[in-house]
A and B are shown apart, each in its own frame.
Chain A
Amino acid sequence: MSDAPGADAESLPGPLAGLRILELADEKGQFCGKLLGDLGADVVKIEPPGGERNRYVGPFLDDIPHPERSLSFWYYNTSKRGITLNLETADGRQLFGRLAATSDVILETFRAGFLASLGLGYESLRKQNPRLIMCALTPFGQTGPWRDYASSDLLHMAAGGEMASCGYDEADLPNAPPIAPGGGNAWHIGSHFAYMAIMATLVYRTVAGQGQYIDASIHEACALTTEAAIANYIYRGEVLRRQTGRHHAPGPTPRTQFRAKDGTYVTALVAGRLNPGYVKDLANLLDNYGMAGDLKEPQYQDPTVIAANTSHIIDDLVANFIASLPAEEVYHAAQERGFTWGAVRAPEALLDDPHLHDRRFWKKVEHPELGRSFVYPGEAAIYNDSPWRISRRAPLIGEHNTKIFCDELGLSRGELSVLAENRVI
């Protein structure tokens, strides 16, 4: 059986090949642009002269701050080409209009109403290009009392409801604050929904031939992303409480994180699953390591005995078993026997995961200007007929100005120089 993704598929174009996207996005939408680019679209990132401010977000390569060394910018801007353009100049607006006339999608994250105030709103741009799709991805959407509010990842995690569901048991940390999950996920959540809306409108365009305007809200996207919290309130009036490393719930629930021998943790959902069959399998798993204790005794095939000994099983037997082994060993031993358990890994541990290597997940991306290449995380899904791939590293500031303004739009080198002198590009 061939387990590797089809090697022949790797030479095929991505599923979005042929699409031209103009990206006017900061931290809010750059991940959406990356997804479109990694899936084969020609994403042209338009930055203000001098570069977009997320080039100044760390960490930086070798901790040397520089707009071409932001690892965050690198990651979120793969598979894009880059140009600079000052939209607040007449020349800049005119050039943008020409680019928009031949593009399929504009993705923008400016404050609500900004592009329209420059005469570059959707209604103006679509006159030249009725097939144009424009997605405005903003913190709160284009309307409403919070429309002009300022935001950040932390702010969205608060108002979206993520924080109200994440944190600690009272027993683990009394009076703990709600905790916002890390990693910039407000932007991921917004970008996922924006990507979905853009694709739906692109599919519609293949049928109806017309483009449209998308008003997407990160706040709404975050508010939708707390699983059953809203349903619990709507149907039962319950407001769920935070539980350490596991599901929010109306009241306290048994713990699911156990400290392993190496000081890291294992997520093992045992409570609620303790029927005789599960206990038998659990006894066999623990017995392999001489840690089954009394769990192999026949009395544990009686549900009432199990119920009476739940705390013994979880807090003694399972906890001691996990404490006796490294977390990775518990994870694999348990999964191989059908237990849905996992090691709580730091991201860097993923580099050693053989399963990801089998899936050719890690990608070496060349940075020719540095004479180096770096390993990047790759695709979330394997497309067997049109691969997801990182086609190039993030663009340098204005890297494709000549290619796009001269070779594609037909400006002369002299005109390009004038535009640079006048801070248009």
Chain B
Amino acid sequence: MSCPRALENVRVVDFSWVRAGPWATRWLGAFGAEIIKIEWPENERGRLPSTTTPQNLEVDLNTSGNFNDTNVNKKSLSLNLRSAKGLEIVKRLIAISDIVIENFSSRVLQKWGLGYEELCKVKPDIVYVSMSGYGHTGRHHHYTTFGPVAQAVSGLTYLSGLPDKLPAGWGWSYMDDTGGMYGAMCALTGLYHRNMTGRGQHIDQAQMVSSVPLNGPALLDFTANGRGSRRPGYPPGNRAHWPGTPLVNSYRGPTVAPHNAYRTDPGGYNDWCVIVCHSDAEWERLVQVMGDPSWATSSKFATVTGRLQHQEELDDKIEAWSMTLGKYELTERCQAAGVRALPVQSSEDRVEHDPQLRHREMYLAMEHPALGRHKVQNAPFKLSATPVSNHLPSPLIGQHTREIVEGLLGYSHEELCAGFADGTFWPTKRARFPYMDEMLR
């Protein structure tokens, strides 16, 4: 590749697993940092269990589709950190690295002799990012999370759903995705600070804690106005306000109607479109798009307060119209007239039908040695001087062990072979993958 990359010559030692940590380092890798993932098959979590292995392949450590998408742009070093030799090797690697990222439970790496204080001895300006559930300080630091629990405890789950129903919450580990964002943001911020001051630091990022600031306006409504979110009509589903309850902002923008999801033709599971009018002018344009039906020109819908008051009827009438159109056709008609509307898109819709994502090359195919050729998700931004790209498929477990141990760290080939024989680089009782035997030749 001829263009330089933003994080060229930055090396990251990545002790992270499952989703949040690997999602963080995936992006540092996309910016061009060298990501060295430290793995051990006996306590690996992220490759297995796999629910995303293609139906025609056997589930093993190298065939998880989701692992592949989450771990592009990385190399893998398999290493037993619970051995003195493994510890010595990883410290040698950290001594020539810039960033350490880990998402073990609080203080686990400290117990293994890889805490921040200890690593400062081998690399004084290391940027050390811990991504745990509750953080390394605070009385509940030993509590554990995964996405849905962090989301529940922090208030995020509660903000999603229909009034008087169960919380609908988030249908995935939003805080693994977003925790990953914070991990990458902390690493980059710490790296910038190091480049400017020469000093590294420890950054204690916590999944549950990072969720809380995402509820800012709801929290200020409570601390400044004394109004909590447990109140009639809240959360208001897809609406900005639930009819028949006190008019209060719902923390996702202006209080307006229409503001909802509507069924579209042919009425399948994901045949829905959302329509929002932020002003009377936008409403009038929607009325035009609907063909000026007589109900819509009624004065009760002419004002925003009227539309909010008669929202049930408004939504029923809009849906009767939206059911006559496919979601993409409805979107095009509305947007051409300057009305805010977009389809509810499933994963299939995004990959196959979304013209914008296609134009922006969001999903480009990449070859993986075990999985074959599949589309991989790209970055949501284009950088003019240092283009971002996926340049490596996810590593097979231990794929780069020789390259790193001999090439980067300068151990001899005999030492590599000895490390495989004594269980430093692979459990002695576990069958080796063919590419490992290849390394030992």
Contact = CB atoms under 8 A, between A and B. Distances in A.
Interface in B391-412: none
Contact of A193 (B173, B192, B261, B381): B381
A346 to B, nearest CB: 4
B171 A242 contact: yes
Interface in B233-251: 235-238, 248-251
Given A159-B354, A340-B146, A383-B201, A350 B219 contact: yes
B66 A231 contact: yes
Interface string B44-76: 000000011111000000000110111000000
Contacts of A35: 185
Q: Which of A71, A200, A236 has the most CB of B within 10 A?
A: A200
Contacts of B153: 331, 342-343, 345
Contacts of B209: 356, 359, 361, 379-381
A233 interface: yes
Nearest to A53: B254
A235 B366 CA distance: 13
A408 interface: no
B166 interface: yes
A240 to B, nearest CB: 7
Contact of B192 (A15, A160, A213): A15
Interface in A115-174: 122, 140-141, 143-147, 149-168, 172-173
Q: Which of B229, B251, B273 has the most CB of A within 10 A?
A: B251
Contacts of B158: 344-347
Given A232-B66, A351-B222, A212 B205 contact: no
Nearest to A18: B196
Contacts of A358: 137-139
Contacts of B182: 192, 380-381
A223 B195 contact: no
A340 B338 CA distance: 47
B263 to A, nearest CB: 8
Nearest to A57: B254
Interface in B335-381: 335, 338-351, 354-357, 359-360, 362-363, 371, 374-375, 377-381
B220 A71 contact: yes
B225 interface: yes
Given A145-B356, A155-B342, A214-B382, A15 B193 contact: yes
Contacts of B6: 200-201, 203-204
B67 to A, nearest CB: 9
* Interface size range on B against A: 35 or more
Interface in A13-63: 15-16, 18, 27, 35, 39, 56-59, 61-63
Interface string A82-104: 00000000000000000000000
Contacts of A231: 52, 65-66, 68-70
Contacts, number: 542
A3 B4 CA distance: 43
Given A193-B181, A201-B386, A219-B356, A348 B228 contact: yes
Interface stretch (B210-218, B295-303, B413-421): B210-218
B139 A354 contact: yes
A72 interface: yes
A188 interface: yes
Contacts of B389: none
A309 B195 CA distance: 58
Interface in B126-167: 134-135, 137-141, 143-150, 152-162, 165-167
Contact of B222 (A3, A145, A347): A347
Contacts of B350: 160-161, 223, 230
A342 B154 CA distance: 9
A352 to B, nearest CB: 11
A383 B199 CA distance: 12
Interface string A350-375: 11001110110100000000000011
Contacts of B178: 188-189, 192, 225
A232 B347 contact: yes
Given A183-B156, A338-B144, A16 B261 contact: no
Contact of B173 (A159, A210, A247, A380): A247
Interface in B268-305: 269-270, 272-274, 276, 278
* Interface size range on A against B: 35 or more
A376 B186 CA distance: 21
Interface string A218-256: 111101111111111111100111111111100000001
A203 B188 contact: yes
Q: Which of A5, A173, A180, A349 has the most CB of B within 10 A?
A: A180
A79 interface: no
Contacts of B100: none
B137 A348 contact: no
Given A58-B249, A182-B251, A226-B347, A383 B203 contact: yes
A244 B221 CA distance: 27
Given A150-B339, A229-B347, A354-B139, A179 B193 contact: no
A164 B344 contact: yes
Contacts of B195: 203, 206-207
Contacts of B215: 183, 347, 350, 377
Contacts of B111: none
A146 B353 CA distance: 13
Contacts of A277: none
A377 B165 CA distance: 28
B2 interface: no
A77 B10 CA distance: 32
B206 interface: yes
B148 A212 contact: no
A109 interface: no
A422 interface: no
A212 B383 contact: yes
Given A5-B137, A199-B192, A232-B52, A59 B225 contact: yes
B39 interface: no
Contact of B143 (A150, A265, A335): A335
Given A201-B385, A257-B166, 7 more contacts: A59-B248, A140-B356, A178-B261, A181-B156, A182-B251, A183-B159, A188-B178
30 contacts: A15-B189, A59-B249, A71-B217, A72-B220, A149-B342, A159-B342, A161-B347, A163-B261, A166-B170, A168-B168, A177-B272, A178-B261, A179-B237, A183-B215, A183-B252, A193-B181, A199-B185, A216-B380, A229-B172, A231-B68, A233-B346, A245-B167, A247-B148, A248-B171, A257-B169, A344-B158, A346-B228, A348-B155, A384-B116, A386-B201
The 8 residue pairs across chains A and B that have the minimum distance between CB atoms: A235-B65, A220-B380, A58-B249, A165-B171, A385-B201, A347-B155, A199-B188, A212-B385
